[in-house]
Amino acid sequence: MFGFAVSLTVLLAVSTIAKAPQGQPQGGGGGGRGQAVAQAPVADVSFDRLLKSAEEPQNWLMYSGSYLSQRYSALNQITTANVKDLDLKWVHQTRSTQKHEVTPLVVNGTMYLVQNVNDVVALNATTGRPIWTYSYKYDPAARNCCGNLSRGLAILGNTLFLAGYDAQMIAIDARTGRELWKTPAADPKQAYSFTVAPLVVKDKVIAGAAGGEFGVRGFIAAWDVQTGKEVWRFYTVPGSGEEGHESWSGDSWMHGGAPVWLTGSYDPDLNLTYWGTGNPSPDYDGRARLGDNLYSCAVVALDADTGKIKWHYQFSPHNEFDWDSTQIPVLADMNWLGRQRKLMLWANRNGLYYVLDRATGEFLKGAPFVKVNWLAGFDAKGRPSLTPGLEPTREGVLLYPGNQGGTNWYNPSYSPRTGTVLYSRVGKQLDHIPSREREPARVSGRTRIRRRRRNRTRRGE
């Protein structure tokens, strides 16, 4: 059975499962300040277990199920023949009006999930009974373009990791809900936030910052799992003297966006971690940021120990259509044109499905999976060219796909049994009518473009 179906089943159970009133510590938790009354079973999730997570289909040890982000499960008791016989066993009510885009972790019979933005709950996965709740009161200055939310947790040993909405990395005891440490990563008053589920690699926990709609300078960082000390930081918008800095005109790099708001993947053989980046800022008018705007709308391959970039591929250079490339990299070892290769499979918001060599970043394939009219073709290295006449005009141009893209934040999955990739399609149109006759306005140190836009339901983060 595909992991895609498994993840939807888990989320449905979470959205339909009974809990005591929010904010009341149940057992331990309560921001780590309450007395422990109940305790979850020992998790003891070693790095070796994370590497071999596919061998534990009864557990779900990380956001995408495994480091390859395939969201595939070997469980086979639920089939197309008996799925109609499934029956509701318990309900947990999150008592929140906020979005729910969380993938829970399941470890040794305990389900760990995030609700009401940053409250972490441990549930008995068999009965739905709450064991403890950790309530985190984030800085009210924190904001996000597209809803207050968190997409999940990471775990190592007996420690859970929460990327707090106000750009704090937080460690929590998985047994009691007690806070162990908390490290600020950026200033929420400058519109930095975390919405991503972290990724643990060896002795580090990794996450990236959202805020691209507000002109932040995006980054990916790693923290020591024991102490919370930041170990490395990679800016997704290169600074002065860094390779790629020349792809930004003037000082536009200082507020260039390129946020990270979905969890990356990891190849232990190559020791590379892969992360997709979001739109440049400002998103719909690129006159204030001439150039390709690296590393926005791209995938970056980083050394997991140092954070140094090994390669990148930019899906949409100098993008003016809000096509974030934060989709999750699906990793698979497959035969490609008669040769066994380490591949990266990627359904992108720009409407194209890509195949890359994840060892080198070599472009192997790019083809539409929804209606696309912007692509004129690729050069030999895979750089796309824009169809003439689709540049933004005062009168407007009709563009496919729309600002929702061909796909968005929805999690893909891959079956190694059948070699099939599953992903959600959107593919609406965009009437792109920025106010090209106006000059960019400088507001609070970042560029804000006055513009008209239609079909706006979700942007990037």
Catalytic residues: 322
3-class secondary structure per residue, the chain: CCHHHHHHHHHHHHHCCCCCCCCCCCCCECCCCCCCCCCCCCCCECHHHHHCHHHCCCCECCCCCCCCCCCCCCCCCCCCCCHHHCCCCCCCCCCCCCCCCCCCEEECCEEEEEECCCEEEEEECCCCCEEEEECCCCCCCCCCCCCCCCCCEEEEECEEEEECCCCEEEEEECCCCCEEEEEECCCHHHCCECCCCCEEECCEEEEECECHHHCCECEEEEEECCCCCEEEEEECCCCCCCCCHHHCCCCHHHHCECCCCCCCEEECCCCEEEEECCCECCCCCHHHCCCCCCCCCEEEEEECCCCCEEEEEECCCCCCCCCCCCCCCEEEEEEECCEEEEEEEEECCCCEEEEEECCCCCEEEEEECCCCCCEEEECCCCCEEECCCCCCCCCCEEECCCCCCCCCCCCCEEECCCCEEECCCCCCCEEEEECCCCCCEEECCEEECCEEECCCCCCCC
What is d(CA 157, CA 162) in angstroms, rounded to the nearest whole number?
Answer: 15
- By C-alpha distance, which of 258, 259, 264, 272 is closest to 199? 264
Task: Report CA torsion sign: 347, 350, 355, 361.
Answer: negative
157 Rama sector, left if φ>0, alpha if ψ -120 to 50, beta otherwise: left
Q: Are 29 and 134 in contact (CB under 8 A)?
A: yes
Structure tokens at 148: 């207050």
